[in-house]
């Protein structure tokens, strides 16, 4: 791997967004994901190689999160650093120079206004090379169905933080299944479990963003 791409991976893993960012303290004053990506592009490094650096950095922090070595704040900073890289690469996605793996529609279900978990998943999935359609929070079933109609073949992610809004997931899943049984549906959130996922007919549950990324990537590979 190119040395500069490895530095991008480290910046993403450590959550170093840019030079002026005070986080992490050990990297204060150093170039972050923003400057390193700009320099990589100036040097002619292919956007596809830079994406690999993003994926490596997110894989590393995702593994640490799964193992309980780091927590949500560190994962959030890594996702923001990842976003700084993606901001530079977005024109290459739009031009078709870099191919997206697919589309992923995500939203927090009706009645729930929490978005931290949703945002973490969205940023992690985008960093893994997917186009993300973020519907926001308090999303009615009809809005999910409209997005699916606009983006045929997209996978769908449903988020909920409250036990009182989990049943809204069941409603969305049923309506999607009635309309398009083949749509892949992922669910997540603090009160959600694998058993609940099975009970409502969703395809996949993960307690962390990296699990969602791995599932989507394995689905594409299949």
29-66 pLDDT tens trace: 999 999 999 999 999 999 999 999 998 999 899 889 88
Last residue of a domain, one of 73, 95, 117: 95
Q: Do 209 and 155 fall into the same domain?
A: yes
The percentage of residues in the chain with a pLDDT greater than 70, rounded to a whole number, is 99
Region at 29 (left for phi over 0; alpha for psi -120 to 50; beta for the rest): left
Range of the domain at 145: 103-221
Which CATH number do you get for residue 129? 3.40.50.280
- Work out how many domains the chain is built from and give that number: 2
pLDDT score of 129: 85
Statement to judge: residues 107 and 175 lie in one domain: yes
Q: Which residue is listed with tokens 């993606």?
A: 86
Same domain, 30 and 117: no
- Of the chain, the end-to-end C-alpha distance in Å amounts to 26
- Per-residue confidence (pLDDT) for residue 221, from 0 to 100: 55
Tell me, yes or no, whether 91 and 128 share the same domain: no
Residue 138 pLDDT exceeds 90: yes
Residue 68: is its pLDDT beyond 80?
A: yes
Residues 81 and 19 in one domain: yes
Structure tokens at 101: 């793996």
pTM (2 d.p.): 0.86
Cα 37 to Cα 7: distance, rounded to the nearest angstrom? 9
For range 135-157, the mean pLDDT: 97
Q: Are residues 75 and 112 in the same domain?
A: no
Distance from C-alpha of 162 to C-alpha of 169, rounded to nearest angstrom: 11
86 and 114 belong to one structural domain:
no
CA dist., res. 62 & res. 121, Å (int):
11
Please check whether residues 70 and 154 belong to one and the same domain.
no
Quick one: which H or E segment has residue 205? strand 204-205
- Looking at the fold, whether 160 and 187 belong to one and the same domain comes out as yes
Residue 1 has pLDDT above 80, yes or no: no
Q: Are residues 195 and 128 in the same domain?
A: yes
Statement: residue 124 has pLDDT above 90 = no
Domain shared by 91 and 159, yes or no: no
CATH number of residue 58's parent domain? 1.10.1240.10
In terms of residues, how long is the chain?
Answer: 222
Residue 15: what pLDDT? 97
Q: Which residue has the tokens 């973020």?
A: 134
pLDDT in tens, 189-219: 999 999 999 999 999 999 888 899 999 998 7
Which of 50, 79, 95 corresponds to the end of one domain? 95
Residue 182 has a pLDDT of 94
Same domain, 87 and 195: no
Minimum mean pLDDT among 71-80, 95-104, 185-194: which range? 95-104
**Can you give the pLDDT at residue 100?**
86
CB 169 within 8 A of CB 202: yes
Q: What is the band of 81 on the pLDDT scale with cuts at 50, 70, 90?
A: very high
From 66, 95, 124, the end of a domain falls on: 95
Q: 58 with 11: CB under 8 angstroms?
A: no
């Amino acid at each position: 791997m190119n040395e500069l791409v490895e530095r991008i991976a480290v910046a993403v893993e450590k959550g170093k967004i840019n030079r002026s960012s005070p986080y992490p303290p050990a990297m204060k004053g150093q170039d972050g994901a923003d400057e390193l990506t700009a320099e990589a592009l100036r040097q002619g490094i292919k956007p596809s190689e830079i994406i690999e650096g993003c994926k490596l950095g997110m894989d590393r922090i995702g593994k640490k999160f799964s193992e309980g070595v780091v927590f949500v704040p560190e994962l959030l900073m890594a996702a923001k650093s990842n976003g700084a890289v993606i901001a530079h690469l977005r024109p290459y996605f739009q031009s078709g120079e870099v191919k997206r793996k697919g589309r992923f529609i995500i939203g927090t279900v009706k009645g729930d206004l929490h978005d931290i978990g949703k945002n973490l998943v969205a940023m992690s999935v985008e960093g893994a090379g997917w186009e993300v359609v973020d519907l926001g929070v308090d999303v009615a079933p009809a809005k999910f169905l409209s997005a699916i109609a606009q983006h045929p073949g997209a996978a769908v992610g449903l988020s909920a933080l409250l036990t009182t809004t989990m049943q809204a997931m069941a409603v969305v899943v049923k309506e999607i299944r009635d309309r398009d049984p083949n749509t892949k549906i992922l669910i997540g959130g603090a009160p959600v479990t694998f058993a609940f996922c099975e009970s409502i007919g969703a395809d996949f549950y993960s307690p962390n963003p990296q699990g969602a990324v791995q599932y989507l990537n394995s689905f594409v590979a299949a």
